[in-house]
Amino acid sequence: MKFTFVTLFSNLVKGYFQDSILKRAIDKDIFSVDYLNPRDFSNNKHFKVDDTAVGGGAGMVMNPQPLFTALDTLKKQEEDIHIIFMTPVAKPFSQNDAKRLAKKSHIAFVSGRYEGIDERVIEEYADEVFSIGDYILTGGELASLVICDAVSRNIDGVLGNSDSLSIESFETPLLEAPSFSKPKNYEGNCVPSEYLKGNHSKIRTLKIALSECKTKFFRPEQHLKHKITKR
């Protein structure tokens, strides 16, 4: 699997792969990451990549030419590439998308800056367009990292223990039950006593009850879905 970040600011992205689980996966050749800067493809003598919006409106919009040329180059290098644009004006990214995308061989994330990307680029090249939530970031880089992280932990071999994938929140409508580590009593704050008694059937029942409570409180719409699917 390969990820290509198409971005004007690759340094915003690079640091994330320099530590922890994703670094280990790259070191083990489970996936690789590279970067493409649209500015390197600009025909403008000053390597300009943006301009004012046609029809008015605040801010600058990324021009079509550098992105058309960059993405044409990428597609010529690899036919099987899956191109994803990050914008707040799109379908919300979900865990199901993360699992589905983990089966692709090469994903390119195209990040906009300024007021966004000329729509003609998205129409021409997007296989998919995602938002990571109902708020506006200063650019798509963080959004593409969020998606890349969520996708890559679903690639075989990235997580040490693949069991941890199947019991996570969003695998079912219920949010995950709370977890505790040692000590059992930290300055008077105790782990629920049932967790300590070793009766696994009782622990499972308690975890389901706690999951239901959390889901009802934080995500009432998910709780409703759980009640309907349980029937």
CB 148 to ligand ADE: min, Å: 13
Q: Which is nearer to ligand ADE, 139 or 173 (CB)?
A: 139
Would you say 127 and 84 are in contact if contact means Cβ atoms under 8 Å apart? yes
* CA 218 to each of CA 20, 133, 167, 212, 230: distance values in angstroms, whole numbers, following the listed order: 29, 16, 19, 10, 19
CB 113 to ligand ADE: min, Å: 9
* CA 72 to each of CA 51, 109, 123, 140, 142: distance values in angstroms, whole numbers, following the listed order: 21, 14, 14, 20, 24
CB 127 to ligand ADE: min, Å: 16
Q: Which is nearer to ligand ADE, 87 or 215 (CB)?
A: 87
CB 147 to ligand ADE: min, Å: 9
CB 151 to ligand ADE: min, Å: 15
Would you say 4 and 111 are in contact if contact means Cβ atoms under 8 Å apart? no
Task: Give the chain's end-to-end CA distance (angstroms, integer).
Answer: 40
Q: Which is nearer to ligand ADE, 146 or 177 (CB)?
A: 146
Token representation of residue 42: 């600009």
Cα–Cα dist 48/37, whole Å: 12
Give a three-class secondary structure readout of 20-85. HHHHHHHHCCCCEEEEECHHHHCCCCCCCCEEECCCCCCCEEECHHHHHHHHHHHHHHCCCEEEEE
Residues that bind ligand ADE (CB under 6 A): 86-88, 131-133, 135-137, 140, 143
CB 114 to ligand ADE: min, Å: 11
The residue with its CB nearest to ligand ADE is: 143
Q: Which is nearer to ligand ADE, 116 or 173 (CB)?
A: 116
The two beta strands, 185-186 and 189-190, are antiparallel
Q: Which is nearer to ligand ADE, 1 or 62 (CB)?
A: 62
Q: Which is nearer to ligand ADE, 42 or 131 (CB)?
A: 131
